[in-house]
Amino acid sequence: PGVMSLALTQWFIAISAVFVLFVTYTLFFGDSAFHQNGLVGKFGALMGTLVDTLCSDRTRGRIEKLVGKKCCGRILRFENYVCFSKNPIMPAIYLAFVIFGFIIFMISGWPLIGATEMAPSYHKFGAIFMVSLCLGVFFFFVT
């Protein structure tokens, strides 16, 4: 059972990574003349159509009917605050991702460093250095 769940986890991670890379590549190069008639160009056009549909007045009207005009106005104000004005929400989310990611690494990965040949003990220094560098850059740009 443990080996099967590990294999499924590895496949899930691999498929997710390929999908994220494909979407990222499409966002950067989907509009180019080279990809215009191919899979990347068609997927880019589909993503553009989806975004246009979600941001249209028709969709907004449906949301207003569903939750009311007052609530829809609050949603739009919150969206403008989060996405288009300087606020502490995005830095707080980033900081939470870095800190909780490192905590999870400390719980699950730290004991394995130095215990196997694949992860020599000098990786402990590298892990602390990378998180410190990440947080240092974060605080440099936030303050």
Contact 63, 76 (CB under 8 A): no
pLDDT in tens, 91-143: 888 888 888 888 888 888 888 788 777 778 888 888 889 888 988 888 888 76
From residue 46, how far is each of 31, 53, 69 by CA, in Å? 11, 10, 29
CA angle 31/23/51 to nearest 5° reads 70
Residue with tokens 């496949």: 11
- Cα gap 1→106, rounded to integer Å: 25
Q: 12 pLDDT exceeds 80?
A: yes
Q: Torsion angle, CA of 79/75/58/52, rounded to 10 degrees?
A: 20
Cβ neighbours, 10 Å, residue 35: 17
Q: Which pLDDT score, from 0 to 100, does residue 15 have?
A: 92
pTM, 2 dp? 0.47
